[in-house]
Amino acid sequence: MNEVYSGAQERLVIPGDRIENSGGLAAGSGILKTNDGLVATQLGHVMENNGVIYLQASNSTYIPRSGDLVIGFVNSMRSNLWMFDIGGPFEALLPMSLSPWNTQYGDLEEHMIVGDYALLRVQEVDSQHGVVCTMKGIGLRKISTGVVENIGSNSTKLFIGVDGSNLQKIKQQSGCRITVADNGRIWVEGSDKGISEVRNISAYFSKSDTPYPNLKSIKNFNEKMEEL
């Protein structure tokens, strides 16, 4: 990374701001390529990675992608499928054929009802943003213990930290088992005290003003950990 872009990494932009691109980098997510150059489309920090300049949005809606691990809750049901709220613009479908149970048509209530949480994987997203999930896979299950917290899909990188360093520390300190989903929800299992600690930390991350790991966020995180 050259000096220009290490400076750009810390730069906060708002929609419509022109982004300097003297290095001929490709436009990534959150950046619009126009005749006048690159333009930011969201409020966030300019980042650069592998020849691509992109925006780490400060606040944005979770957009599901195939393969994402998500935590959702049942919003409604049909005779042969559950409809999950996964925090995106659209509900996600879980057909009974992709559930881990041998379910009969019309008997879905035996396994999950409205309000139940589950750990799912996004199987397919079509061009119309229709989302199909699966519960067949290692670790995918109905969530019946612990708590689910929302930290926002932008804060997951910060929560996990560089090479999982933050997450590791949180797990060690709280003694809890933590699963971080791509849609910004975390599943915490453990003692009441441990869960309370993780909730405190997750509240701190959801309010953080730097949604990516940098020196400042690491320092703030360490201070927060010492407070607990």
The contact set with other proteins (CB under 8 A) reads: 10-12, 14-18, 30, 32, 39, 41-44, 57-61, 89-91, 128-129, 154, 209-210, 216
Distances (CA, A) of 162 to 1, 68, 196, 208: 17, 20, 24, 16
Nearest distance from C-beta of residue 16 to other proteins, angstroms: 4
Residue 201 Cβ vs other proteins, minimum distance, rounded to whole Å: 18
Query: Closest CB to other proteins among 17 and 116?
Result: 17
Shortest Cβ distance from residue 57 to other proteins (Å)?
5
Q: How far is the CB of 141 from other proteins (least distance, A)?
A: 26
Q: Is 16 left (phi over 0), alpha (psi -120 to 50) or beta?
A: left
Between 58 and 103, name the residue whose CB sits nearer to other proteins: 58
CB–CB of 71/143 below 8 Å?
yes
Decide whether 27 or 176 has the Cβ nearer to other proteins.
27
CB of 188 to other proteins, least distance (A): 22
Residue 43 or 148 having the CB closest to other proteins? 43
Nearer to other proteins, 124 or 209 (CB): 209
